[in-house]
Amino acid sequence: MEELIAKLKTFLHIETELPIEGFSAYYKDLVDYLNTEFENLDQDALLQARYICSIVQANAGDRAKQSKASAKVFKKMSLKCSFWSDAISFRLQKNFGLSQVDMDSAMERINESM
């Protein structure tokens, strides 16, 4: 998770838009990581994963609107990130007792650290 957060922090500070290849590779790394590690993630890692999913989801949604040729691919990325975000939220509520307000506060703290 630390590697994904570090990459995202780098991406958020570049002046130009991340090329499609780089964005797609990051998305693939994220989904692969969640597919293999989801059940083993602690509360902090889940919150970080939720933050990453929200950023990737929003970015993929924006890219879908900008690129007619790749719109279908980016919409699919956005939907999959939405699915993961919902799954993470559910697990945070069920296993750790976090409310939506708790999760929103944690997202703000992570955002400020970026």
For the chain, 114 residues long, give each residue's pLDDT as a single digit of tens: 889 999 998 888 888 888 888 889 999 999 999 999 999 999 999 999 999 999 999 999 988 888 788 888 999 999 999 999 999 999 999 999 999 999 999 999 999 988
14 inside domain: no
The pLDDT of residue 53 is 96
Residue 106 inside a domain? The answer is yes
**Sign of the C-alpha dihedral computed for residues 10, 12, 18 and 24 taken in this order:** positive
DSSP 2-50: HHHHHHHHHHHT-SSPPPHHHHHHHHHHHHHHHHHHGGG--HHHHHHHH
Q: Is residue 58 part of a domain?
A: yes
Q: Which domain holds residue 98?
A: 2-8+20-34+41-113
The reported pLDDT for the residue numbered 20 is 85
Burial class (CB in 10 A: 0-12, 13-18, 19+), 47: buried
107 within domain boundaries: yes
Domain assignment present for 60: yes
Number of domains in the chain: 1
Q: What is the pLDDT of residue 17?
A: 80
Domain contains 13: no
> 29 in a domain, yes or no?
yes
19, two tokens: 């090329």
Q: Please indicate, yes or no, if residue 15 is contained in any of the structural domains.
A: no
- Helix, strand, or coil (residue 1): coil
